[in-house]
Structure 1
Amino acid sequence: MTSRQLLTLSSIISSLAIISSAYAAPTSSKPKTLRKPLTHPLAAGAASSPTSPQSTPRHARAIAQGNEAVTVFGRGSTRQMTSVTHTMMQQSVPGTSPLKVLSQLPGVVYQSADPFGAYEYSSQIFMRGFSQSQLGFTLDDIPLGDQQFNNYNGLAVTRAIISDNVGGVDVSQGAGAIDVASTSNLGGAIETHSLDPSHKRGGSIGQTFGSNSTMRTFVRLESGDLNPTGTRFYVSYARLNENLWKGSGYDHSDQVNAKFVQPLARGSSVKVFFDWSSIQQFDYQDMTMNWLHTVGPNLANYYPDYTAAYNAALGHYSSTVLKTNDPLDAAYYAGTANRVDYLGGVTLDENLTSSLNWKTTLYAHGDSGYSTWTTPYMPSPNGAPLSQRVQTPGIARGGFETALTWKIGRHKLNAGVWYEYGNFTESRYFTEAPLLGQGTLGNPTTGFPGDKIFATPWQEAFSTNTFVFHLQDTYKITDTLTVNAGFKSMIVNSGNSVLTQDAAINGTQVAQGRLEASNAFLPQVSAIWRFLPRHELFFDVSHNMRSFPLDGYGTNVSATPWTASQASFQATKNTLKPETDWVYEGGYRYTSPIVSALASLYRINFSNRLQLITNNSGINPITAVQNVGGVTTNGAEASVTVRPLEGLSIYNSFSYAHSTYDQNVATSSGVEPTRGKLVPNYPQFMYKANVTYRIGGFDTHVDGIYMSHRQLTYTNDLHAPGYFLMNFGARYNFGNAGPLKGITAAFNIYNLTNKTYIATTNELGNNFTNTGYNYFLMGAPRQFFGTISASF
């Protein structure tokens, strides 16, 4: 922490202390909201308890139960908070990723090559210039890691919970709360909450169908209250089958959720959540500008045409692929991902007294599976010019969070500990492909081809101990002024062992050893002042750190020290610093039955930014981790929701972000002119709108997103063009029929104007300049979906 930053923080705290001494007086009033700006509508009537950092404002509950277009702004929150509720999520097609729904929020960019956001390799979220690996994610307080495709410390939210069971999502665009269980949230935090079981016995069913032979089935069975204490549970199942929108292959998933709730005395409870997920996904082919302009957006892999892939590996290409500058890499036989996950957690939320709460969560997560890619760069021993490369990632982690919250006078003190131990393993193999005429590779998702392995390039295992302590005080200085101040201490110790590495295949040997990212004092101060009825001012200042990501062989798009050689690792391990930043934000919030408005300004000083620099092709990349120094971001966001008529809600938001590198970067080939250049992959301007109208049992909406161009290189000599995308949806509730209640038909159109656009960028890393190997994925064309649902 610099002396200037210390002076800034101490000045803020000193000013608040002066205000405190002038206005403080004993009271039994409850503090205003500080973290979660909204509970789910179904829980609106639940009694408040000291476990929550806040109670739910009456107005927010009214909006949630009504007809909000997109978001509920965090009235009473000391930082910028917005929420997406269960009701709002129902505007999207069932099965849509909760992260995709967040794309309507100011400052948030979500991209995916498929309309559901289910294709995990392409799932990508940015917030105020931070990528998903620099944000924090939780589900019912369970840490979900950094949401990368080859996740080493968590689980994608789409695999952690069925979207129909999401009760709401709270988003902190600036900095997550001190007690968010994350070691990566340099930027904000995304906290997903599951629905509680219903008090009434019954269930719900839904069937979705649509473009690309999409079929999705969802069933949830509710036990209802089993006894006078309110013991209850639900079990749910979802199954998705959809074909790729270009080429052959599919996205298939099965998922089970279960949740159990046992109410206890004094408003306490025990809650148990379980998730099982199984996915099999085919890849969309990565694109380049050359391939887009020569072949077009529908370029796809050869699967199931093994003959075409075999001939291409021999150098015999179709006339279409021959148009490209790299016909060998323009298409392959197939790439797939196959994963099975188990996630479980139990939470004791115990009100020891009317003013003292103890909350503890125990959790565990196991992940296994394999990914395949058919490569023409490694021939098989039998003479076939190609082979199948297989990777086998695995995660086994468990931990606990425990915290005490004590209300005393105008103070709410909260202190807690989070500990996690995790193992991450990954191996790479090559398996034999058949000679032409003697069979094919078939469907790579049908099982791990262990009996055909002929080479093992590497095997690697990581272990990590995470310990985080936090302490904070929420002080209601007056009835209109509330301050939250605290800090967290973080220690993340990680190390690896490389069981196998074949330099003849890999071309390099990666490092082994342990690193520790630690900081004893990561402070945060935030405040809210309600200076007039319905009018609020807020600010937040926070210091954040990200632990070193784990990877040795470039399987993640992350800047990890373990990709270095052993000599480089040893030379830098004692001086290498983790990424840190200071985030400053302030804003204005207005809330009334007719208008909800939010405006904010922010500045981010990002220090010691580590970047993954990629050269050569994405198939044979040369990657290196480099400290590119500091990044400075200045931005502004504004949102307004207007409800001029009963049933009509109109939402608009605008965001601007100017995020640039502070200096040039010296490399082995010279100095790269990055100073003053925009950070890749994030647009400077975004405009978002949503119009929702409801009358009786019918409701409809239209939403749109404009996004300015995004840089694809660090020197800004290549960019993805901007675009405007629209979606449409309508639902009608037909009422009840026999045992079925609330029979509803829904119709959705994704990409209403059939826009051709670039969706995911940097899935293989960014280059300094336009090398021709600057990869991205195309967004899906116009898609149609229909859903029939009912409860019983």
Structure 2
Amino acid sequence: MESQSGIESVNVSGVRRFAGGIMRRQTAAESRSSIGQQYISQKMGASAPLALVSALPGVNYNNSDPLGLAIRQTMTIRGLSMGEMGWVLEGMQGMDQAYYQPYMETWADSENIADMTVIQGSSRLVDPVSTASGGEVIVTVRDPSDKMGGHLSYSAGSYRAQRVFARLDSGYIGNSGVKMFASYSYTAANLFTGSGRNHRTQVDYKITKDWGDYGKSSIYASYDNWYNARLNTTGLSQWEAANAVDNNFSAGNLASTYIPGKTTNYWKPYVYKNEDALVSMQNVFRVAKGVTFHFNPYFRWEATNAPGQTSANVNSLYVGNEKADVNTSGLYYTNAATGQFSAMSNTRQNIYAEGINTYFDIDLTRTNTMQVGYWFDNFSLSQLGSLSPLDQYGNAANDMGKYILRATDGRAISGSNFTLQQQTHALYIGDTQTFFGGKLKIAAGFREMLNYINGTNYVGSQGKFSNSFTQPMPRVSISYDINPHTQVYVNGITNVRAAMPGNSYTTLYNVSTGAVSQQGLASVKPEYTIGEELGLRYHGAVQASVALFNMNMTNHQISTLAVQNGALVSQAISAGGETIRGVTAELATRSYYGFSPYVNAQYVHATMDNDMTYGGKVYHTAGKVMVTTPKFMANIGVNYEHGPFFANLAFKWVDSQYSTFMNDQSMPAYKTVDLGLGYRLPSYWIAHAPTVRLNFTNLSNVHYLGSVASPTVSYKVSQPGYYLAAPMTVMMTASTDF
């Protein structure tokens, strides 16, 4: 359905599904794709939310854990990373604003997701996003059921995987117009290689209030506790050597046992921990005839520790760039004579974000609608990089870095210790005019964003820092319905993305030498994109869409990984300008004899516009193909339903992609096949529509590199890092409504 304002709303019901729910009729003047609960419910019970959209056009996604428990995941769309997308959950900004990671696993369980929409290369005018230079992902959580009931499921599979999910719906409570649901899930599994067992606990809650003709209100809240034993990254030559002898890539694993003084990469100090809580309130009120008011406040809290392992000496430790005497009480030495010891190198963060997005939809005439609104977001981050000494068994006293090494004056031995705060203000206005009975629609909009960041570095000489910018972002779109089945559209849009707060402005230090390991920048220009699309859609016996796109980007910031005092941390590489051109096509049919096929493909040519300067040397990268941008990608799938039986088969091909800006190393192309089988049993007693399904990912057990973890300027300067992809994984799920 489409709102009168011209902004296409997310529709979660009443639409005839194509290809098992993976291709939905779209009418907005932009390239977009959606999946619904019908499609989600047939996938693996523990699928990561990002994995659910991996078959959509232009989505280049891979996760080192198909069970949704690992943070080793990447996604690019048209060559732009997930840190260059806008992320919206229930009307709030869902992005982890420190390092621009969505961490969607902490948002909601897949059973509670009603709709996921990907907008490739564009974003909606009214959404609270500040990072949407490459597009937008929108997640809608289901409303509580009208009647009391619930849902139960249990899953078990490869690598001792287990998952339980339970949800209870209250139904309407009397005549109050109030209904709610609450759900709980617990997921656990071993790594597919190496040591460690991951687990995640998720609690979701939603309450809605129907105000009749006056509007509707809802509150969504979730809590997540996540423990992830991370896989190590690997180099290309290391992976090729391991793959040649078929050793399941164990050559690159973190060490499974700890020997004091010898083991430098024990798996336990690398475990990632995350606690996350969020609340979003959405209100829609009809305040006058033709005037609707939207009022959406939200809040998010997050505490994380992303540590690693390091070796240090008590005779050479620093607080920033100041040498410090250390309190060695209880310290276990790996070499007492020299003062050497091992430690977990913490990167402990506390994050708070609160904001409000409010706007009006105003029907000026029968054919003209205006939108006007304001969004404010306040984000704060405190980070402490510290050392937790390891005992003789390789254990730290506390997983979250509570008991840390301190100087005799009480200061933490630290190479990073800072706080920062970022405020984002956005004013926006848009107008949509229709002609010829709604066949022609012309929309224009304008968005002005103000971004201000300030902070204090508590180590070294940097002290206080700040940066700000304002950016106007105009947009225009035109769509025309040639007939009831055929639509053409053009879309022109501008977008901006502020530099990553967590790794751009603060100077970091080596705790063993006091030397600068990352120089904080006084100011960073934001990423800015200008994009155009020309699209054609057909809705009939088949559903098809084709989109030609062109994008010009300036001040492109590429996310990579770097070692900071033994811990892998996100950093950004400035890649200058970029030009992205290509075409995306998508095709699906209705069900014929139970079969509904689906196919999409993308060709993209993305080149760098400028030479790069790295380490004081100029590299001639102008005209080179951008990293992490496969030229070709394709998905072929078929869904089958006959009576109580259903099945789905999905094939994905991703072309090779460069991992260095000089294009002297690339990640090999890969092909994968996923399979799902299911059967709906007859209802019995309180069990309504019980279902059993069996899902296989990487059915042919292909050994491949899934994504580029850390691109570099050239392999001759430093080797790029890669994330391993998981071998074949199987999971069986039994579920029922009641």
Give the structure-2-normalised TM-score: 0.89
Q: 1:190 deviation in Å?
A: 0.5
Within the candidate set 120, 126, 130, 2:76 is matched to 126
Residues of 2 paired with 1:152 and 1:229: CA distance?
A: 43
Tell me whether 602-611 or 241-250 shows the greater mean CA deviation: 602-611
1:183 aligns with 2:133: no
Secondary structure of the residue that 2:133 maps to in structure 1?
A: coil
Greater Cα shift, 162-171 or 109-118: 109-118
- The answer to whether 1:141 aligns with 2:87 is no
Question: Mapping of 1:570-581 within 5 angstroms?
Answer: 573=523, 576-581=524-529
Query: In 2, distance between residues paired with 1:543 and 1:216?
Result: 43
Q: What residue is the counterpart of 1:785 in the other structure?
A: 731
Corresponding residue number in structure 2 for 1:365: 300
Q: Work out whether 1:532 is the aligned partner of 2:489.
A: no
Closer, same or farther: CA 99–630 of 1 in aligned 2, 3 Å: same
Tell me if the contact between 1:170 and 1:192 (Cα under 8 Å) persists in the aligned partners. Answer: yes
**Residues 5 and 370, structure 2, Cα contact 8 Å, conserved in 1:** no
Alpha-carbon separation, structure 1, partners of 2:406 and 2:711: 29
For 1:425, the equivalent position in structure 2 comes to 382
Q: Is the 8 A contact 2:465 2:522 kept in 1?
A: no
Which residue number in structure 2 is paired with residue 597 of structure 1? Answer: 544
The corresponding residue for 1:388 is 344
The equivalent of 2:47 in structure 1 is 96
Q: Establish whether residue 348 from structure 1 lines up as the match of residue 307 from structure 2.
A: no
State the 1:351 CA deviation.
1.5
Query: How far off its partner does 1:89 sit?
Result: 1.2
State the partner residue of 2:639: 692
Contact 2:697 2:729 in 1 (8 A): yes
Instruction: Give, in whole Å, the separation in 2 of the partners of 1:295 and 1:178.
Output: 48
Whether contact under 8 Å (1:34, 1:79) holds in the other structure is no
Q: How far 1:32 sits from its partner (Å)?
A: 6.7
- 2:292 partner letter: N
1:468 aligns to what?
426
CA–CA separation in structure 2 for the residues paired with 1:359 and 1:683: 40
Tell me, in whole angstroms, the C-alpha distance in 1 between the residues paired with 2:520 and 2:729. 52
Secondary structure of the 2:292 match is strand
Counterpart contact for 1:422–1:463, Cα < 8 Å: yes
Tell me, in whole angstroms, the C-alpha distance in 2 between the residues paired with 1:186 and 1:81.
15
Query: Taking structure 1 as reference, are residues 770 and 178 closer, same or farther at Cα in structure 2, changes over 3 Å only?
Result: farther
- Aligned-partner Cα distance in 1 for 2:433–2:677: 45
Contact 1:530 1:536 in 2 (8 A): yes
Tell me how far apart the structure 2 counterparts of residues 572 and 224 of structure 1 sit (CA, whole Å): 55
Q: Secondary structure at the match of 2:151?
A: strand
Counterpart in the other structure of 2:360: 404
Q: 1:555 aligns to what?
A: none
Q: 2:443 aligns with which of 460, 472, 484?
A: 484
User: Retained in 2: the 8 A contact 1:605–1:632?
Assistant: yes
CA deviations on 1:552-604 (whole Å, 9 max, x unpaired) are 4xxxxxxx2445999x989963xx52211100011100011x20000010000
Structure 2 residue ranges without an equivalent (≥5): 244-248, 315-327, 335-340, 408-412, 510-515
Q: Distance in 1 between matches of 2:313 and 2:490?
A: 56
Deviation at 1:403, TM superposition (A): 0.6
Which secondary structure does the structure 1 equivalent of 2:83 belong to?
helix
Q: Which has the higher strand share?
A: 2
**Inter-partner Cα distance in structure 1 for 2:656 and 2:694:** 31
Counterparts of 1:190-209 in structure 2, within 5 Å, are 190-209=137-156
Equivalent position of 1:324 in the other structure: none
1:514 is matched by which residue type in structure 2?
A: S
Is 2:8 the counterpart of 1:36? Answer: yes
1 CA distance for matches of 2:76 and 2:500? 17
Q: Which residue of 2 aligns with 1:724?
A: 671
1: CA distance, partners of 2:543 / 2:5: 17
Residues 234 and 252 in structure 2, CA contact (< 8 A), matched pair in contact too? no
1:21-65 Cα offsets, whole Å, 9 max, x none, are: xxxxxxxx9977844365112xx3xxxxxxxxxxxxxxxx122xx
The alpha-carbon deviation at position 292 of structure 1 amounts to: 1.3
2:440 equivalent to 1:440? no
2:462 is the counterpart of 1:516: no
Partner letter of residue 449 of structure 2?
A: M
Q: Secondary structure at the match of 1:551?
A: helix
Contact 1:137 1:182 in 2 (8 A): yes
Residue of structure 1 equivalent to 2:258 = 306
Cα distance 1:684–1:197, how it changes in 2: closer, same or farther (>3 A)?
A: same
User: Does residue 105 in structure 1 map to residue 56 in structure 2?
Assistant: yes
Partner amino acid for 2:12?
H
- Give the one of 403, 416, 431 matched to 1:450: 403
Quote the Cα distance in structure 2 between the aligned partners of 1:100 and 1:682: 18
Q: Is the CA contact 1:30–1:410 (under 8 Å) kept in the aligned structure 2?
A: no
How far, CA to CA, are the matches of 2:180 and 2:257 in structure 1? 47
Task: Tell whether the 8 Å contact from 1:511 to 1:564 is kept in structure 2 after alignment.
Answer: no
Mean Cα deviation higher: 664-673 or 701-710: 664-673
Counterpart Cα distance in 2 of 1:640 and 1:614: 37
CA contact (8 A) 2:255 2:263 kept: no
| Per-residue CA distance 1:464-523 (angstroms, 9 max, x = gap) | 11101110112112221011111101001001101234xxxxxxx66741101211x211
Which of 710, 716, 719 does residue 773 from structure 1 map onto? 719
| 1:618 Cα deviation from its structure 2 partner | 10
| Structure 2 CA distance for aligned equivalents of residues 609 and 154 of structure 1 | 17
SS of equivalent residue, structure 1 residue 164: helix
1:294 Cα deviation from its structure 2 partner: 3.3
Structure with more of its chain in helix, by fraction: 1
Q: Quote how far apart the aligned CAs of 1:133 are.
A: 1.1
Alignment match, 1:496: 455
Report the CA distance shift for 1:783/1:535 in structure 2 as closer, same or farther (over 3 A): same
Query: What is the deviation of 1:631?
Result: 0.5
> Which one-letter code corresponds to 1:416 in the other structure?
G
Deviation at 1:607, TM superposition (A): 1.4
Post-superposition shift, 1:299? Answer: 3.2
AA aligned to 1:72 is R
Counterpart secondary structure, 1:514: strand
**Which residue of 2 is the match for residue 322 of structure 1?**
none
CA offsets 1:658-709 (integer angstroms, 9 cap, x no match): 0000122244543202011111112110010110000111110000110000
Deviation at 1:651, TM superposition (A): 0.4
Structure 2 SS opposite 1:158: helix
Structure 1, unmatched stretches of 5+, are 1-28, 45-60, 314-328, 502-508, 553-559
Distance (whole Å) between structure 1 residues aligned to residue 313 and residue 253 of structure 2: 18
Aligned residue-pair number: 698
Q: In structure 2, give the amino acid aligned to 1:278.
A: N
Amino acid at match of 2:530: W
Distance 1:201 1:613 in 2: 48
The answer to whether the 8 Å contact 2:345/2:567 transfers is: no
Contact 2:2 2:8 in 1 (8 A): no
* Cα drift, residue 739 of structure 1: 1.0
Give the 5 Å matches for 1:667-746: 667-746=614-693
| Percentage of pairs with the same residue | 19
CA contact (8 A) 1:494 1:515 kept: yes
Offset at 1:70?
2.2
Q: What is the identity, as a one-letter code, of the residue corresponding to 1:784?
A: V
Given candidates 595, 609, 617, the residue that maps to 1:648 is: 595
Q: Residue 548 of structure 1 aligns to which amino acid in structure 2? A: A
| Counterpart position of 1:168 | 115
Cα separation, partners in 2 of 1:225 and 1:614, compared to 1, 3 Å? closer
User: Alpha-carbon deviation of 1:86?
Assistant: 1.0
User: 1:302: how far off?
Assistant: 4.7
CA shift for structure 1 position 98: 2.0
Match runs of 1:2-21 below 5 Å: none
Does structure 1 residue 754 correspond to structure 2 residue 689?
no
For 1:163 and 1:695, how far apart are their aligned partners in 2? Answer: 25
Distance 1:765 1:682 in 2: 12
**Is the alpha carbon distance of 1:788 and 1:31 closer, same or farther for their aligned partners in structure 2, counting shifts above 3 Å?**
closer
* Structure-2 change in CA distance of 1:724 and 1:617 (3 Å): farther
